[in-house]
Amino acid sequence: MKLTALLTTVAALALAAPAHAEFKLGDRYTDNDGDLIADIPEDESKWLDPDTIIFAYTPVEDPAVYAEVWQGFLDHMAEVTGKKVQFFPVQSNAAQIEAMRAGRLHVAGFNTGSNPLAVACAGFRPFTMMAAADGSFGYEMEILTYPGSGIESVEDIKGKELAFTSETSNSGFKAPSAILKAEFGMEAGRDFEAVFSGKHDNSILGVANKDYMAASIANSVKARMIDREVVTEDQLEVLYKSQTFPTTGYGVVHNLHPDLQDKVKEAFATFEWEGSKLEEEFKKSGEAQFIPITFKEHWSVIRTIDAANDVEYNCN
């Protein structure tokens, strides 16, 4: 979906967000140019210039699934940067953010909902994301159940359990929480019980195997799991489908050497998708290239959702 369509997200979310809501970085970072991301330190002694670049992909599924998928790209990054590049398998969004905050993670793809927290608290500087060949991008949040569950509408979830993934996930928690409240007047703890699976694949498998009666997930993950035959479409029923959200944002830690930041950007911009493992895997959800983005523009709708949920970024 193009940006103009993306920004016409659910009107109730914008109305629910406080008019004075303001995105702020943690105290350890500065933003003198007003682009909402951490500035590169002026003090060169604070720059990181590692012999090995550490890369992590958002843990939407088992990290082992993606180590091989990303290897060709990491080889390309190594060639462009002149550095060794290592895949770092993270098990949670929190662990990924903490690794970057501590300087142990240099380049990463953070999921949609974790981007604002990574930007505010870990000095993450996103600059690209995946898109289709025509430049369109994004995914939808879906609320799923299984055939014969007795749940035929979102309202039928009242009095039952709804599985989320983690509190930092957009489609796995933030967006459905805001949408359920704005559109259906439903809140966790009052109208239904919230449980957490940890990851999108856990939620999808949980519904398919009838361990969860309903779950909110990213349909891009569902599409890849169906394509790999991990689950089948007839195991799942869609109760709700949201408007389109931006997908995983890729970027660098703010204090990576500026020349190295430029080389990392060059690696993303020059990667040849055709015939690659990335193409094989991500074509399942429609992606075919990396496109430039800005956090200020492309994540505006996500910051609105956070404001509607009264999210505060505690970076202490």
CB 285 within 8 A of CB 140: no
pLDDT of residue 13: 40
Q: What is the pLDDT of residues 152-210, one digit of tens each?
A: 999 999 999 999 999 988 899 999 999 999 889 999 999 999 999 999 999 999 999 99
The upper half-sphere exposure of residue 38, i.e. CA atoms within 13 Å in the direction of its Cβ, equals 27
CB 173 within 8 A of CB 143: no
Alpha-carbon torsion 289, 278, 105, 246, what sign? positive
Q: Higher confidence at residue 54 or residue 24?
A: 54
Cα(31)–Cα(296) distance, rounded to whole angstroms?
12
Cα(275)–Cα(160) distance, rounded to whole angstroms?
45
Structural domains of the chain, ranges and CATH numbers in brackets = 3-136+246-308 (3.40.190.10), 139-244 (3.40.190.10)
Cα(304)–Cα(22) distance, rounded to whole angstroms?
10
SS3 of residue 19 by DSSP:
coil
Maximum Cα–Cα distance across the chain: 62
Q: Does an H or E element contain 87, and which?
A: strand 84-87
Cα(292)–Cα(126) distance, rounded to whole angstroms?
9
CB 207 within 8 A of CB 154: no
pLDDT of residue 17: 41
Orientation angle between helical segments 63-81 and 258-270, nearest 10 degrees? 110
| Over residues 223-239, mean pLDDT | 95
Q: Does an H or E element contain 223, and which?
A: helix 219-227
Q: Does an H or E element contain 77, and which?
A: helix 63-81
Which pair of tokens denotes residue 41? Answer: 């330190």
Closest to 278 (Cα-Cα) out of 170, 131, 126, 86 = 131
| Over residues 98-117, mean pLDDT | 95
Cα(274)–Cα(31) distance, rounded to whole angstroms?
38
pLDDT of residue 315: 84
pLDDT of residue 6: 31
CB 315 within 8 A of CB 160: no
Helix, strand, coil abundance in the chain, percent, nearest 5: 40, 20, 40
* DSSP code for 62: -
| Burial grade of 245 (CB within 10 A; 0-12, 13-18, 19 or more) | buried
- The pTM of this model reads 0.79
Instruction: Quickly tell me which residue has 């505690």 as its tokens.
Output: 314
Least confident of 29-38, 229-238, 301-310: 301-310
CB 86 within 8 A of CB 297: no
